[in-house]
Chain A
Amino acid sequence: MTGVVLAAAIGALFALGTFLLLRRDLIRVVWGLAIISQAANVYLLTMGGIAPATADSVPVLAGRGEHVPVTADPLVQALVLTAIVIGFGMTAFALVLSYRVYEEHDTLDVTELGDRE
């Protein structure tokens, strides 16, 4: 059940992110990118297995013997933490950059910006 809910949530996040990415407003594009990055993070987390973990279901422990405690997959959490930090920095940079684009062009409309070759 949790699996289905999570899969649906990830799918919805990717759909929403893609929708926003294709908008004409530059800020929405940034939101879209942020949501897609977050969707990728949630997906990454589920890749470690979401059931109460045992040596069989956690990839980093599977096939490595029986001498492991029952635990959630620590590896994906470390990966996601790194990805979140990078994503945070990049979202901040993209927001600052879109403000600069607004200062230089007086518009945030993607179509108008594209016309100014």
Chain B
Amino acid sequence: MTATPGGMESQLVIAPMVVVLVTAVGSLLLSRRPRARAAVSIAGGAAYAIAVGAIDWYIVLAPDAPGIATYQVGDWPAPFGITLVADGLSAFMLTMVAVLGVASLVFSTRHLPGGGGRSYYFPLFHFLALGVTGAFLTGDLFNLFVWFEVMLMASYVFVAYSGGPQHTRAAFWYVALNLLASAIFLLGVGGIYATTGTLNMADLALRLADPAAYGLDPVPVVGLLGLLLSVFAIKAGLVPFQFWIPTAYRAAPPQITALLAGATKKVGIYAIIRLSFTVFAGAEVAVDFPIPLLGLSIAGDSPLPFVGAALFLMAGASILVGGIGAVGRDSMEGVFAYSSIGQVGFIAIPVAIAATTIDPGLRELAIVAALVYALNHTLAKGLLFLAVGAVRSATGTSRFADLGGIASRSPPLAIAVFVGSLALVGIPPLSGFFGKFLVFEAAAKARAGSVLVLLLVGSLLTIAYATRTWNRSFWGAQTDAVETSTVDSVQVAVLVLLAATIVAVGVGFEPVYAFAEAAAEAALDTEGYVDAVDPIDASELDDSTGGDH
């Protein structure tokens, strides 16, 4: 039984996962030989980047690329086995993770954060990447839960990694919250299975599009989608689920926080986009929620208007809470942690616009806006958190009270941070400009005046906290801590390269836009997704093919 057409593309789908798993185990075996361990890690990171690049080119971007490829694990046909799917959306997300992951990996070889667990740093790093990669590639809802857990377990250890009083406490809150979230995820998964009889995403989309043909009553999926949405919002750190972010981000080593903000947050965003648009957009469920106080009602033929309304509220609140919170912090990572809350709001606003509109053109534009903004946030925030790591390993502190004048002490470091801050603010020609521009364009086309005002306020807050961070730590006279510091040259080189990437993405925006457009098309193309996965309708199986696998 050959359920995997297209040979090489199909093998490529699983390649990043195999590479990162082998690297993780390899670095675990070499725990007594630090140099070999670092070498294996770097080689694994490079191989991972190559595998992701191959997916980008051969599956999505090449002129004759199929646009989507699947790998049926164990050659079990969907929906009975686990399906891995690489399409434009997955490839776009993987690319962001690969760029930031390699940067953080190289950065980590220079100055490993202290604590007794140094030999487990690299294995954990790769297991974190494995969870993120699996979440982006899986085409099965329960398998998504499993990859979430893989990702979370590694991140639990990293939050507790430094082992001080505040770290263990932050880790406990983080673990408790996410264990609860996992139970809620299971409730959603179980309910969806009982309602539809499948957990394969393509099969789910197929069955929900025509529930009568399968004898299903799909109404419960709206509420169950709400449960899943809250779990994903916890991962993405949207208000009102943002409270864990500042403590956890402060506790984890900065080079890991770069990944938490740049990669695991994006897993939440990815899951929202994938499930809302690829899977549930075509569901034949009429929703009608009256809101008595405002005299409004949320109505439509699919669960999307409900998703849109919920996301608008959460994203709007995130922009305000994150922006206002960031202005008053007293340390670099505190500012950037709150900034992450606000920036994720900027990513979720266009997703909400896409969910609310019925115009297919605007829907695609809005998804593109969300993806470009997500890319910018991954690069800029990744750079800034790595910069926190560089400042900390040079001066031993990242509190504003002890910092000042870094710009004259290490101009390259300052330039990199300057570029990252400007990208966050959205100055042309950096990647952030296009992200902001597209988000504003989507909001303007949706004729959402209040959203525009909100975005404007959020942007002003971004300028305020970015300027303040710059003034307090990089400008002015050198403090004692800065004067006696030596900045690591490799770490600065990584930062400068990331800054150059931000500039390059902005200057050569055309291909990036084309990639984001392909990703948005893939996210909205339910039919193509179902065709590629090709779930068998078992009622058509007869006895001769039923049991011979």
Q: Which of B119-127, B175-183, B312-320, B478-486 is near enough to bind chain A?
A: B175-183
B193 shortest CB reach to chain A, Å: 6
Q: Which residues of chain B in 157-207 are interfacial with respect to chain A, using CB atoms and an 8 Å cutoff? A: 160, 163-165, 168-169, 171-172, 175-176, 179-180, 182-184, 186-187, 189-191, 193-194, 196-198
Whether A83 is near chain B, meaning CB under 8 Å from some CB there, is yes
What residue of chain B has the Cβ atom nearest to residue A26's Cβ?
A: B172
Residue pair A97, B183 in contact (C-beta under 8 Å): no
Number of interface residues of A (CB under 8 A): 39
Whether B488 is near chain A, meaning CB under 8 Å from some CB there, is no
What would 19 more interface pairs be, CB under 8 Å, given A63-B197, A90-B182?
A29-B176, A33-B176, A40-B183, A40-B190, A47-B190, A59-B198, A63-B215, A63-B539, A64-B539, A67-B542, A79-B189, A86-B182, A90-B149, A90-B175, A98-B172, A100-B160, A100-B163, A100-B168, A105-B165
What residue of chain B has the Cβ atom nearest to residue A78's Cβ?
A: B142
The residues of B that contact A82 with a CB separation of less than 8 Å are 142, 146
20 A/B residue pairs, CB under 8 Å, sorted by A: A21-B176, A33-B179, A33-B180, A36-B183, A40-B184, A44-B186, A48-B194, A63-B197, A63-B214, A64-B537, A65-B539, A65-B541, A67-B543, A79-B193, A82-B146, A89-B153, A97-B168, A98-B172, A100-B168, A104-B169
Binding site for A on B (CB under 8 A): 142, 146, 149, 153, 156, 160, 163-165, 168-169, 171-172, 175-176, 179-180, 182-184, 186-187, 189-191, 193-194, 196-198, 214-215, 537-543, 546
Residue pair A59, B197 in contact (C-beta under 8 Å): yes
Known: A79-B142, A97-B168. A90 touches B187 (CB 8 A): no
Whether A72 is near chain B, meaning CB under 8 Å from some CB there, is no
The residues of B that contact A61 with a CB separation of less than 8 Å are 197
Residue pair A94, B186 in contact (C-beta under 8 Å): no
The number of A-B residue pairs with CB atoms under 8 Å apart is 108
Known: A82-B146, A94-B176, A105-B165. A39 touches B183 (CB 8 A): yes
| B190 contact from A29, A43, A94, Cβ within 8 A | A43
Binding site for B on A (CB under 8 A): 21, 26, 29, 33, 36-37, 39-41, 43-44, 47-48, 59-65, 67, 75-76, 79, 82-83, 86, 89-90, 93-94, 97-98, 100-101, 104-105, 113, 116
Residue pair A40, B187 in contact (C-beta under 8 Å): yes
Q: Which of A37, A48, A76, A79 has the most CB of B within 10 A?
A: A79
Residue pair B186, A40 in contact (C-beta under 8 Å): yes
Known: A36-B180, A59-B194. A93 touches B186 (CB 8 A): no
The residues of A that contact B149 with a CB separation of less than 8 Å are 86, 90
Residue pair A116, B165 in contact (C-beta under 8 Å): yes
B194 shortest CB reach to chain A, Å: 4
Q: Which of B156, B186, B187, B198 has the most CB of A within 10 A?
A: B186
A36 shortest CB reach to chain B, Å: 5
Q: How far is the CA of A26 from the CA of B393 in the complex (A)?
A: 34
Residue pair B198, A97 in contact (C-beta under 8 Å): no
The residues of A that contact B163 with a CB separation of less than 8 Å are 100
Residue pair A93, B215 in contact (C-beta under 8 Å): no
A69 shortest CB reach to chain B, Å: 11
What residue of chain B has the Cβ atom nearest to residue A39's Cβ?
A: B183
The residues of B that contact A101 with a CB separation of less than 8 Å are 168-169, 172
Residue pair B180, A93 in contact (C-beta under 8 Å): no
Q: How far is the CA of A89 from the CA of B153 in the complex (A)?
A: 9
The residues of A that contact B540 with a CB separation of less than 8 Å are 65
The residues of A that contact B183 with a CB separation of less than 8 Å are 33, 36-37, 39-40
Q: How far is the CA of A41 from the CA of B142 in the complex (A)?
A: 13
Q: How far is the CA of A33 from the CA of B175 in the complex (A)?
A: 10
Q: How far is the CA of A29 from the CA of B156 in the complex (A)?
A: 17
Q: How far is the CA of A64 from the CA of B235 in the complex (A)?
A: 36
Q: How far is the CA of A33 from the CA of B191 in the complex (A)?
A: 20
Residue pair A93, B538 in contact (C-beta under 8 Å): no
A80 shortest CB reach to chain B, Å: 9
| B196 contact from A26, A33, A48, A59, Cβ within 8 A | A59
Residue pair B197, A62 in contact (C-beta under 8 Å): yes
Residue pair B193, A75 in contact (C-beta under 8 Å): yes
Q: How far is the CA of A80 from the CA of B13 in the complex (A)?
A: 27
Q: Which of A41, A101, A105 has the most CB of B within 10 A?
A: A101
Residue pair A47, B146 in contact (C-beta under 8 Å): no
Residue pair B215, A62 in contact (C-beta under 8 Å): yes
Q: How far is the CA of A45 from the CA of B434 in the complex (A)?
A: 48
| B193 contact from A29, A33, A36, A76, Cβ within 8 A | A76
Q: How far is the CA of A116 from the CA of B168 in the complex (A)?
A: 13
What residue of chain A has the Cβ atom nearest to residue B146's Cβ?
A: A82
Known: A21-B180, A29-B176, A62-B197. A104 touches B165 (CB 8 A): yes
Q: How far is the CA of A113 from the CA of B171 in the complex (A)?
A: 13
Residue pair B169, A105 in contact (C-beta under 8 Å): yes
Q: How far is the CA of A104 from the CA of B251 in the complex (A)?
A: 15
Q: How far is the CA of A44 from the CA of B187 in the complex (A)?
A: 7
Residue pair B186, A83 in contact (C-beta under 8 Å): yes
Q: How far is the CA of A75 from the CA of B82 in the complex (A)?
A: 12
What residue of chain B has the Cβ atom nearest to residue A82's Cβ?
A: B146
The residues of A that contact B198 with a CB separation of less than 8 Å are 59-60
Residue pair B171, A97 in contact (C-beta under 8 Å): yes
Known: A59-B197, A83-B186, A90-B175. A104 touches B168 (CB 8 A): yes
The residues of A that contact B168 with a CB separation of less than 8 Å are 97, 100-101, 104-105
Q: How far is the CA of A86 from the CA of B169 in the complex (A)?
A: 22
Q: How far is the CA of A81 from the CA of B82 in the complex (A)?
A: 16
What residue of chain A has the Cβ atom nearest to residue B216's Cβ?
A: A63
The residues of B that contact A76 with a CB separation of less than 8 Å are 190, 193
B42 shortest CB reach to chain A, Å: 29
B190 shortest CB reach to chain A, Å: 4
The residues of A that contact B182 with a CB separation of less than 8 Å are 37, 86, 90
